[in-house]
Structure 1
Amino acid sequence: MGPGFLALPTVAGRTHVLDRGLAPDAVAGVLELTGEHIDVWKFGWGIAYLDRGLDRKLWLLREHEVISCLGGTLLEIAWSQGKSEECLAWAERAGLDAVEVSRGVVEMDLDDKRELIKRACQAFTVFAETGRKDAGTAVEAGEWREEIAEDLAAGAAWVITEGRESGTVGIYDGSGRPRQDIVEAAVDAAGIERVMFEAPRMAQQAWLINRFGPAVNLANIAPDDVLPLATLRRGLRADTAALSLR
């Protein structure tokens, strides 16, 4: 990868991409150019439910060995209507590899979330998201630790910290700055290897890389930002150049 004449950091961190409704041909182009840098492809919120190109996109993801993941909001809505079993059965028939289990939109207590994770684990890799999508709902660091511990005990493979596509909720304040107490609480509860930080903004990606190193797992990355993120991880951009300067 690359000409090979530079000494750069070895990167093992996962990159989780957010699909906001790309056409299959566009997905093919993204995977051809940057597939080696992508580990998880999430169909945001309820995109998969309406996406006529879903079957082809899932085939492309399998060809590139990228994990396909159902967005958590769709499962939340299904759960609120008493249709979580139908949603999971449909996702399994469609061929999705993973599901996100969250409670960012609906009122769901931890016991119900734990049971939903256990059920989803029967057929999928589970990404359990912590945090609320409403910026007006404050969740303290201790609550993050408790929820993450519950999610992992229920069988979640990964923890995702809420940030949304805006990067202004969850682990970020309204201006997009990281809430360090929440970030540290997530790492304390799960370990850095099992946490995926939603980081849609370049400044957030750079902050997390500088804080935890190039192997930090980053989520909700826009398809067009995959290659720029790869340069951040390798110290090929001013914001993280200290990683590669000698």
Structure 2
Amino acid sequence: MNTPPSFLVVPSRARKPRRQGLTHVLDKGLPVADVARLLEVGGQFVDVWKFGWGTAYLDPGLADKLAVLREHQVLGCTGGTLLEVAWHQGAVEPYLAWAEEVGFPCVEVSSGVAALGPADKRKLIEAAAERFVVLAEIGSKDPRAEVTPAAWAAAAAADRDAGATWVVTEGRESGTVGLFSPGGDVRTDVVDAVVGVVGVECAVFEAPRKEQQAWLIRRYGADVNLGNIAPAEALALESLRLGLRADTFDAVPVRP
């Protein structure tokens, strides 16, 4: 790997393996060869690789993908919907055993579609945390669901207390649900409420749109945790974090 240049002043970044400043990408079903090529270029900037929804259950290249991710110090993570389906069918233990056997270091626990109550979700997080790093997602995928700062703050605190390493705020791949209005604007009161109870280092904000990413970087700095990033955009996001794009140009230190 070539040594990067150092003639510009850019924000400092946490080094891998990171607990803060995560780039969490959403894989919708990429071939193994594409994953390897993408990580050759941007692997140093990717921390969590989520196999979206239930794609891990179907992916014929799953074992090879997980091996590539390990080579680049990227945590492979199941999608929360897959666990919700397993819970709905009474197959949580077989699901967790399968995820452990195939080599997932992380699982996502969510309650976005199934009729999971708070107590059910807590049990899932506690069970998963015995074997995995847990990312617990808060918020519903239903655009009609009510979004309030108090409810999201309470959900975030409960998931962290149950054993989640990171709390993921729902935004979907569209950036128009949960943390965002139907027009894609950030619900600032919800962001403030979640950060107020779990801290910015524990919150992973699903933010698929560039303007959403820029807003969060301006608000919390280069080491804010950002999720649902398209795999091919990891390098572009890193440039946004470091003020190397117009959207964050004036948000970085300037050499005297």
Report the TM range for the smaller structure's normalisation.
over 0.9
SS of the residue corresponding to residue 201 of structure 2 reads helix
Give the structure 1 partner of residue 177 of structure 2: 169
Is contact 1:14-1:39 (8 Å) kept? yes
Whichever residue aligns with residue 122 of structure 2, its letter is: R
Q: What TM-score results when the alignment is normalised by the length of structure 2? A: 0.94
Moved over 4 A (4+): none
SS of the residue corresponding to residue 3 of structure 1 reads coil
Give the structure 2 partner of residue 66 of structure 1: 74
SS of the residue corresponding to residue 107 of structure 2 reads strand
Runs of 5+ in structure 2 lacking a partner? 15-20
Give the structure 2 partner of residue 109 of structure 1: 117
Give the structure 2 partner of residue 87 of structure 1: 95
Q: Does 1:232 align with 2:240?
A: yes
Is contact 2:11-2:253 (8 Å) kept? no
Give the structure 2 partner of residue 17 of structure 1: 25
Among all aligned residue pairs of Structure 1 and Structure 2, give the percentage whose two residues are the same amino acid: 54
Q: What TM-score results when the alignment is normalised by the length of structure 1? A: 0.98
Give the structure 1 partner of residue 144 of structure 2: 136
Give the structure 1 partner of residue 7 of structure 2: 5
SS of the residue corresponding to residue 87 of structure 1 reads helix
Give the structure 1 partner of residue 17 of structure 2: none
Whichever residue aligns with residue 189 of structure 1, its letter is: V
Q: CA deviation at 1:107?
A: 1.3
Give the structure 2 partner of residue 46 of structure 1: 54
Runs of 5+ in structure 1 lacking a partner? none
SS of the residue corresponding to residue 153 of structure 1 reads helix
User: Using the alignment, how far apart are the partners of 1:190 and 1:3 within structure 2?
Assistant: 36
Is contact 1:9-1:243 (8 Å) kept? no
SS of the residue corresponding to residue 250 of structure 2 reads helix
Is contact 1:235-1:242 (8 Å) kept? yes
Whichever residue aligns with residue 153 of structure 1, its letter is: D
User: Using the alignment, how far apart are the partners of 1:163 and 1:39 within structure 2?
Assistant: 19
Q: CA deviation at 1:194?
A: 0.5
Q: Does 1:34 align with 2:36?
A: no
Is contact 1:159-1:194 (8 Å) kept? yes
Is contact 1:236-1:244 (8 Å) kept? no
Whichever residue aligns with residue 8 of structure 1, its letter is: V
User: Using the alignment, how far apart are the partners of 1:179 and 1:8 within structure 2?
Assistant: 28
Is contact 2:9-2:253 (8 Å) kept? no
Q: 1:211 aligns with which of 202, 209, 219?
A: 219
Cα RMSD (Å): 0.9
User: Using the alignment, how far apart are the partners of 2:245 and 2:105 within structure 1?
Assistant: 33
Whichever residue aligns with residue 37 of structure 2, its letter is: G
SS of the residue corresponding to residue 89 of structure 1 reads helix
Whichever residue aligns with residue 219 of structure 1, its letter is: G
